[in-house]
Amino acid sequence: MKQRRMALVFAFVFLAALGFSGIAHGKVALKLGHAVSDQHPYHMGAERFKEIVEKETGGEVEVSLFPNNQLGTGERDLLEGLQLGVVDVYVGSTGPMGGFEKKFMLFDFPFLFKDKAQAYEVLDGEIGTYVMGLLDKIGIKGLAWYENGFRHFTNSKRPVNTPDDVKGLKLRTMENKIHMALWRAMGADPTPMAWGEVFTALQQGTVDGQENPIPIIYVQKIYEVQKHLALTGHVFSPAMIAIAKAKFDALPEAHRAVILKAARESALYQREQITRMEEEQVAKLKELGMEVTTPDVAPFREATKPVYDQFRGELGDDARLLDEILSK
C-alpha cells in the first residue's frame, strides 16, 4: 500500500510539472481518469461529461481525459488518486469501492438484480443515493451512477453450462472479496489482478479465464486469448462518475451545479451506449470465433447462496437493503 501511494504521489508531481495541477491560466482544470480503452462506454460517458461541462461553463472548467490507466494502475489506484489529488474525476466500476466503504459491497452480491430496469430503479432511488453519499466521509463525492453491465465469464478450457463446468478453473477477478467468494463457491480458483495485467496473463495461461461485461470483453479484445464465453450475468456491475470532494467543494456554486448536471446527463447517455454495445457485440464475438453458451442461471444462483450468509453481516444494519432489493 505504501509503495502504491508513493507511486501516486510521484505521478501527481509529474503531472503537475506538465501543467495539469488544477488551475491553469485562470481556468479550472479537471483530470478525469479511467482504466479501460477509449472505445469503451466509460470513455463515451466521459466525453459527454467533458462536452457539457466545458460548454455550460463557457470554457471556465476544462476536463482532460486520461483513459487506459494513464493516471494509475487499475481502478483502486485511481480511487486512491482521488483522495491524494492525482485524479480529479474518476469513471469506473464500484468493485474496488468495498475496500474504501463496506456498504458498497451491497451491489457485489451474486444475482442480486433480475434485470437492468430493476438495477436502475435501485441505483437512482433512495438506496443508491444513500450508498453514494457514504463516500463523502472518505474524500470522494459521488456524482452519478454509470454502469458496466452484467458480468459474464470467459475461459480458454471448455464451454460453461453448469457450475460444475467452472470447477478447477483459475480465473482473474477484481480485488473484491465477494466476487472471489462467489467463484470459490462454485469450485473455481479466483485470483485478484490489476486489469492492466490481465490480457498477458490470459495469453500466457497464468489464468484460465476472467469475468467482465460484454463491452470489456469485446473492446479489450479478450476474444483473442479466450475461446469460450458463458452469458452467466452473475453480477450486475454498477459504475460511477465521482470527483475529489475537496476539489468539488472548492468550486464556485455555479460550477458545482454544472458538474452535477453533466454527470447525470452523461450517465443516461453512457447507459444507452453500453446497452447498445452489448446487443451488437455478442453477435460480433461469435463472428470472431468465440463459442457462446447461455446457461440456466438457476443452478448458479443456488450454488452461490452461501455468499449471502458469509458476507451480509459486514453490511451491519444495512443488510436489510439486500432483502429489500431481492423482494422487488
Residue reference for cell 451488437: 280
Residue 81 and residue 72 in contact, taking contact as beta carbons nearer than 8 Å: yes
Average pLDDT on 24-45 reads 89
Phi, psi values for residue 153, rounded to 5°: -115, 130
Average pLDDT on 78-100 reads 92
Query: What is the C-alpha to C-alpha distance for residues 146 and 151, in angstroms, rounded to an integer?
Result: 15
CA angle, 75 then 117 then 105, to 5°: 35
Which pairs with CB-CB distance under 8 Å and at least 24 residues apart come from 20-25?
20/64, 22/85, 22/88, 22/247, 24/62
Task: Say if residue 109's pLDDT is above 80.
Answer: yes
82: left (phi over 0), alpha (psi -120 to 50) or beta: alpha
Query: What is the C-alpha to C-alpha distance for residues 318 and 183, in angstroms, rounded to an integer?
Result: 24
Q: Tell me, what's the pLDDT at 19?
A: 40
Domain spans, the chain = 2-147+237-281, 152-235+282-326
Q: What is the DSSP string of 207-234?
A: SSEEEE-HHHHHHTTGGGT--EEE----
Q: What is the mean pLDDT of the chain?
A: 92
Query: What is the C-alpha to C-alpha distance for residues 38 and 42, in angstroms, rounded to an integer?
Result: 8
C-alpha cell at 273: 451506449
Average pLDDT on 83-112 reads 93
Strands 27-33 and 89-93 come out as: parallel
Task: Say if residue 26's pLDDT is above 70.
Answer: no
CA angle, 243 then 214 then 172, to 5°: 80
Query: What is the C-alpha to C-alpha distance for residues 11 and 5, in angstroms, rounded to an integer?
Result: 10
Q: Do domains 2-147+237-281 and 152-235+282-326 have the same CATH topology?
A: yes
Phi, psi values for residue 292, rounded to 5°: -110, 130
What is the second-level CATH architecture of the domain 2-147+237-281? 3-Layer(aba) Sandwich (3.40)
Average pLDDT on 129-146 reads 97
Average pLDDT on 239-264 reads 97
Q: Tell me, what's the pLDDT at 305?
A: 96
Residues in the chain: 328
Q: Tell me, what's the pLDDT at 2?
A: 44
Task: Say if residue 215's pLDDT is above 60.
Answer: yes
Encode pLDDT of 164-188 as tens digits: 999 999 999 988 899 999 999 999 9
Q: Tell me, what's the pLDDT at 40?
A: 92
Residue 282 and residue 292 in contact, taking contact as beta carbons nearer than 8 Å: yes
Q: Tell me, what's the pLDDT at 4?
A: 52
Q: Tell me, what's the pLDDT at 194?
A: 83
Encode pLDDT of 295-328 as tens digits: 999 999 999 999 999 999 999 999 999 999 999 8
Q: How many Cβ atoms are within 10 Å of 19's Cβ, its own excluded?
A: 10
C-alpha cell at 274: 453500453
7: left (phi over 0), alpha (psi -120 to 50) or beta: alpha
CA angle, 218 then 110 then 133, to 5°: 90
Average pLDDT on 109-134 reads 96
Compute CA distances 174 → 85, 93, 109, 131, whole Å. Answer: 24, 10, 14, 20
C-alpha cell at 218: 469485446
Task: Say if residue 1's pLDDT is above 80.
Answer: no
Average pLDDT on 256-282 reads 96
Q: Tell me, what's the pLDDT at 98?
A: 85
Average pLDDT on 23-52 reads 90
* Model confidence, pTM: 0.86
Q: Tell me, what's the pLDDT at 274?
A: 94
- pLDDT level of residue 195 (50, 70, 90 thresholds): confident
Task: Kindly indicate whether the domain formed by 152-235+282-326 is annotated with CATH number 3.90.226.10.
Answer: no
Residue 31 and residue 87 in contact, taking contact as beta carbons nearer than 8 Å: yes
Residue 132 CB burial class (10 angstroms; 0-12, 13-18, ≥19): buried
Task: Say if residue 220's pLDDT is above 80.
Answer: yes
Average pLDDT on 236-261 reads 97
- pLDDT level of residue 280 (50, 70, 90 thresholds): very high
What does DSSP assign to residue 186? Answer: T
| Proportion of the chain above pLDDT 70, given as a percent | 92
Task: Say if residue 9's pLDDT is above 50.
Answer: no
